Chain A
Amino acid sequence: MERLKEAYRAMVLARRFDAQAMALAKQGRIAAYPSSLGQEACQISVAFALRPTDWLFPTYRDGNALLTRGIDPLDVLVPVRGYQHCGYDPYVHRCAPMATPLATQALHGAGLATAARCRGEDTVALVLLGDGATSEGDFHEALTFAGVFRAPVVFVIQNNQFAISVPRARQSAAPTLAHKGIGYGIAAEQADGNDVLAVLAVLDEAVAQAREGGGPRLVELHTYRMGPHTSTDDPGRYREAALTESWRRRDPIDRLAAYLRRHGGLDDAAQAGLDLDADALAATVRAGVATPPVVAPTEVIDHVYAAPPRSLAEQRAALVAELAASDVAERGTR
């Protein structure tokens, strides 16, 4: 029950974070934002299922998984805030940068998990994917490699029914995406992605058996992207409102709230306290976005190589001179 109360809290905070980011995107304060509204049970559960020593390989829609993993909300938003491509240190949080090219990070997860096993560690890698990503070649190659090398990696598909506008049926003739595991010799299962108890049970088991040497696992979580693909998308062009309404009745937070209230894990006072915490989180995000960091313009050059080759060093010197001439150097980019 305590874990479910924590999960509920994480889901409430996640939803508020997502709503705040979406609002900032609509105000033009941050770049196009990919909402994960409705997928909170999946997002928080992957963080709950992993140990601090494990690794998470998220996509661009998995900010709430990162938030739950303990990454500062303003750092999670750094790519859409526009200062860097990744706002956190992957080694500190054991989270790879959010992957935008689909399924590419699945191979990185398989490789890192294998590397950890080679070093005698019991680290598990968990790779997040969407339904559309399962059509990509890298998904196929990642499952191929993970299967052959028995990598301790768990591939988690958040099947939210749409890849931008294209429905799940157009991605594969397979009866379920979990079926894809069969072809790679990888155990696969599916769960109701809007039922946090089911998601936690399936992920706990998958992570545990990967850790114990049972090889990779594929998990398909059936969920639904309640919002648009990003803040610039218009779902009205490609899906029926009735479908979205039918999923609204399966809302993961409402379902867990009902369960908790029935079993004495949640009351009005606790909910009010949670709502205050969520408001505080949103306020932190708003204030942080309104206070941009100072980023040296030379950062666009400095991280490309461990040390810039001479030709790039010349371009850096030219940039510095250009900045000095326009007196921008002291102020940085705001």
Chain B
Amino acid sequence: MTRTQPLTTTQPVTMAQALNRALRDAMAADERVLMFGEDVGALGGVFRITDGLAAQFGPQRCFDTPLAEAGIVGFAVGMAMYGFRPVIEMQFDAFAYPAFEQVFSHVAKMGSRTAGRVRLPMVLRVPTGGGIGAVEHHADSGEAYYAHTAGLKVLTPSTPADAYHLLRAAIEDPDPVVVLEPKKLYWARGPLDAPAQPAGLGGAVVRRPGRDVTVVTYGVTVPLALEAADLAQAQDIDLEVVDLRALVPFDDETLVASVRRTGRCVVVHEAQGFAGMGAEIAARLQERCFHSLAAPVLRVTGLDVPYPAPRLEHHHRPDVARILQAIGRLQWDDQPDVHHLGGFPPSTPAPSSAAPMPDTRASVPAPAAPLMAPTPEPAARTDPPVTVGVSAVAR
């Protein structure tokens, strides 16, 4: 990787600043790198990720396009075919959908279609996910669509340092790369010059080593997993948090090594669960770690709903309580997990698969402390839990 100057920032920076710095450095290092999309020029992008690039590099290298996402992607394909390395911004997750045909039928397939004669070194930056109180169509998590599409690489950072290094690596990669930028973390601060491990395409990182459970996650839910790990520690449950960073290529090695050690795994992501990344991860783990697993791999995901209105989004998004609840269901007492075994109690409305569920079946012995202590009826969730104790939510 060519850098114009060493990364000497000692002050914590936001992820937005780190991404901006990555673009700035990449454009300075390689004049073939272009940045274009909607509002990325004079405005600097609606999230200011491209702030100052047009001024520094000129309108030939950072420029606004017509408001047409398929156009942006298709135009970038043509420019990449002719020697440029376009970085394009989709502005918002759900606004990337008009470009799907270009992404799926051309960007992802060009290598296959031309027997490897044409490569498309281009980067699609997609501000992704919810948790920022945005109106509809501004909070989708579309990683499964991209990850399902052979020919793409898919990255998603959770720290400013990773955001910098992953974006630089994406720009230098010979293949098309989708970088999903968690909007909620744009303003989270962290050091820029100290990645826990070198971020590359395909390298997961252990954010927090632990003994008892592997919590696998990526992007916006990484801080949640770390928070859950702190809370679980108080209950003497030691969580290992693995941040995938790259969904494609997938780092089986790091994940398998962790799960073979801990024997238990919970996958956390904000996207709806059905046919999502969590399903792929759970399948891969049971294929590779079956004899190491003490419990089924559980998923804590968004509900299987279109992204809700902003006042209700906290009901949809995974939170620390749901992560800890899943931890509690990992068959610590060697008893079967009743969650999927029977009907729901008639007195309570059927909760969704991810919602807290009381155990009122007399036939199932009350599990032992600490994580399986009897639980009160879950109240309707109205606000994000502020403080969560493990025993209060475990079931």
Contacts and interface: CB of A to CB of B under 8 A. Distances in A.
A118 B78 contact: no
A159 interface: no
A155 to B, nearest CB: 13
A186 B67 CA distance: 18
A106 B106 CA distance: 12
A119 B78 CA distance: 13
A309 B250 CA distance: 8
Contact of B114 (A97, A125, A148): A97
Contacts of B111: 303-306
Interface in A241-272: none
A96 B268 CA distance: 42
B252 A311 contact: yes
A96 B81 CA distance: 9
Contact of B105 (A104, A109, A311): A104
Interface string B91-121: 0000000100110011001111111111100
B148 to A, nearest CB: 13
Given A111-B77, A112-B82, A118-B60, A311 B68 contact: no
A138 interface: yes
Contacts of A312: 249
Interface residues of A, number: 43
B257 interface: no
A194 B349 CA distance: 71
Interface string A91-120: 100001100010010111111111110110
B110 to A, nearest CB: 8
A311 B106 contact: no
Contacts of B344: none
B114 A145 contact: no
A91 B118 contact: yes
A144 interface: yes
Interface string B77-91: 111111110000000
B74 A111 contact: yes
A85 B70 contact: no
Given A108-B78, A114-B79, A311-B250, A141 B66 contact: yes
A119 B151 contact: no
**Main SS of chain A's interface residues?**
helix
B249 A145 contact: no
A216 to B, nearest CB: 13
A107 B81 contact: no
Contacts of A118: 60, 84
- Among A91, A111, A119: residue with most chain B CB under 10 A: A111
Contacts of B187: none
A198 interface: no
Contact of B83 (A86, A113, A119): A119
B101 A107 contact: no
Contacts of A115: 78-79, 81-84
A80 interface: no
B202 A104 contact: no
A232 interface: no
A129 B115 CA distance: 24
Nearest to A106: B74
A101 B101 contact: yes
B274 interface: no
A137 interface: yes
Contacts of B101: 101, 104, 138
A207 interface: no
B79 A310 contact: no
Contacts of B66: 141, 144-145, 148
Interface string A298-324: 011011111001111000000000000
Given A138-B101, A144-B66, A309-B202, A111 B114 contact: no
B18 to A, nearest CB: 25
B65 interface: yes
Nearest to B251: A310
Contacts of B145: none
Contact of A111 (B79, B109, B118, B174): B79
Interface centre among A90, A142, A303, A312 (most CB of B within 10 A): A303
A138 B354 CA distance: 40
Interface in A118-167: 118-119, 125, 137-138, 140-142, 144-145, 148
Nearest to A84: B115
Contacts of B74: 104, 106-108, 110-111, 138, 141-142, 145
A304 B151 contact: yes
Contacts of A304: 111-112, 150-151
Contacts of A84: 115
A85 B68 contact: no
A170 to B, nearest CB: 22
A140 B68 CA distance: 10
Contacts of A138: 70-71, 74, 101-102
Contact of B113 (A97, A111, A125, A311): A97
A89 B115 CA distance: 9
Contacts of B78: 107-115, 125
Contacts of A106: 74
Query: Which interface residue of B71, B111, B250, B253 has the most chain A CB atoms within 10 A?
Result: B71
Contact of B106 (A104, A110, A145, A300): A104
B12 to A, nearest CB: 33
Nearest to A146: B75
A310 B68 CA distance: 35
Contact of A137 (B79, B98, B106, B116): B98
A107 B248 contact: no
Contact of A108 (B81, B83, B253): B81
A91 B117 CA distance: 8
Contact of B77 (A86, A101, A108): A108
Contacts of B102: 104, 107, 138
Contacts of B105: 101, 104
Contacts of B84: 115, 118
7 closest A-B pairs by CB? A111-B78, A107-B74, A309-B249, A141-B71, A115-B82, A112-B78, A303-B116
18 contacts: A85-B112, A86-B113, A101-B105, A104-B102, A107-B73, A108-B81, A111-B76, A111-B80, A112-B81, A115-B79, A115-B81, A115-B82, A140-B68, A142-B71, A303-B112, A303-B116, A306-B173, A311-B252
Given A112-B81, A114-B75, 14 more contacts: A85-B115, A86-B113, A90-B81, A107-B74, A108-B77, A111-B82, A116-B82, A138-B70, A138-B102, A144-B66, A299-B115, A305-B151, A311-B250, A311-B252
